[in-house]
Amino acid sequence: MTKQQRNWHLADSYTQLPHIFYKPTNPTPVKAPKLLIFNEELAAWLGLDTDFLRSDQGIDVLAGNAVPEGANPIAQAYTGHQFGMFTMLGDGRAVLLGEHNTPQHERVDIQLKGAGRTNYSRGGDGRAALGPMLREYMISEAMHGLGVPTTRSLAVVSTGEPIMRETPLTGAVLTRVAKSHLRVGTFQYAARFGSFDDVKALADYAIDRHYPELNNKLHPYLSFFQEVIKEQASLVAKWQLVGFIHGVMNTDNMAISGETIDYGPCAFMDTYDPRIVFSSIDVQGRYAYSNQPPIAHWNLARLGEAMLSLIDEDEDQAVKQVEKELEAFPRLFNDHWMNGMRAKLGLFNEEPEDDSLITSLLDIMKTHKADYTNTFLGLTYDKLDDATIFSTDDFRKWHKRWLRRVEKQHETDEERKDLMRCNNPAVIPRNHRVEEALTAAVDNDDLTLVEELLHLMKDPYAHTDEQIEYAKAPIPEGPYTTYCGT
């Protein structure tokens, strides 16, 4: 396989871990790669040569037909609790090219998703369909615009080869950028199939990669566990605040870095419903909107189990310490969520009544099937005549409570509105808009709607005139269902 060099600065520190954690794996070349969408802004941040990446040689790299100079491609091993059931997994259709060092001296993984079979493919073809890869590109970049920690997308390349699912589909490769691809499932894999030394090597690597300041701590592994708990509490609170439903919160889809990873059957909530589920495979509602915080808590408990041998030589003492740290998660999550909800309501200070004020509004929204995003937009702009909820008696009573609460702070109305505008997005990637864009791209080779959505989601808090049309809620047409990309 040929190697190309144009501003790539790749390291392969992951391969210094014990060999059980990975298998050397070259991407499988494709027939006729074509660059469909390319993230100029991200490429510039990475310090990459955008002209080169748009050239035939650059497209070969993005498709897996060539690898950058310095790359030692691998597939990573991990396990995971999928819908509560422990399963042996690994990168079944993804190849990690290496860790790129940016001009800002940050190290990020560069991964090709849909790059062909690996040792962990479990009988699959290792390929990806165009629709799911475009979905991940759009949603991950929208999440970045919304201020939610996330992996990002550099490019989508079509392969010129069909892949077989229920019907033949257009093949594609997504280039994903992440702080790392270390997962809770990576630690579970080490604990289940490795030795104490393997678990320790992985934890040391994760600390060096993401939390190097912890090396000076008296108990670095317990401190590492604490930091991951904090990051996940913050992340899931951000999901809840923008109405995002991940759809498949398996332990292999929880990144140690605190980034959102693996956009499969994800969606954004239109009508407020805490029990909402969009994924076709989540028949029991395990990963419903309201279950995301407790599932994150459950996943973190699995991380704690995998690290017990590092926490204390006495397993009973280790269990007690892990359980003590896990007790902090609900409080940490609630603090982040409450602060975010206060900001959405224009509240600068804290008052004892805030919890009741917020939960009462959500109850009213649920009762009247109100649009989650647009209810907060209506409050932001004092436009309370455009939706059914605003004309109800219970909302009017709540609104008077809110106005009395606002009077308890010193900030002006304009300062309050500025705070609300910065925390209530004008647009989200509405599910019907995402589907329209995907249909046009996949069925008609028309990326206009994809590019339009990406443009509007670059700054969803801009509140521009062109975002108004995209802010409209869809006309209800029955339940919306999303599907896993595999």
> Which residues are identified as catalytic?
252
The token pair at 329 is: 């998660």
Counting Cα atoms < 13 Å in the Cβ hemisphere of 394 gives 12
Contact 30, 63 (CB under 8 A): yes
d(CA 249, CA 268): 15
444 class by beta-carbon count within 10 Å (0-12 exposed, 13-18 middle, 19+ buried): exposed
d(CA 389, CA 427): 20
DSSP labels, 131-187: HHHHHHHHHHHHHHHHT--B-EEEEEEEEEEEEESSSEEEEEEEEEEES---BHHHH
| Helical segments of 243-392, H only | 292-306, 308-311, 315-326, 328-344, 354-367, 372-380
To the nearest 10 degrees (0 to 180), the angle between helices 315-326 and 292-306 is: 160
Q: Which of 189, 217, 421, 409 lies closest to 307, judged by CA?
A: 189
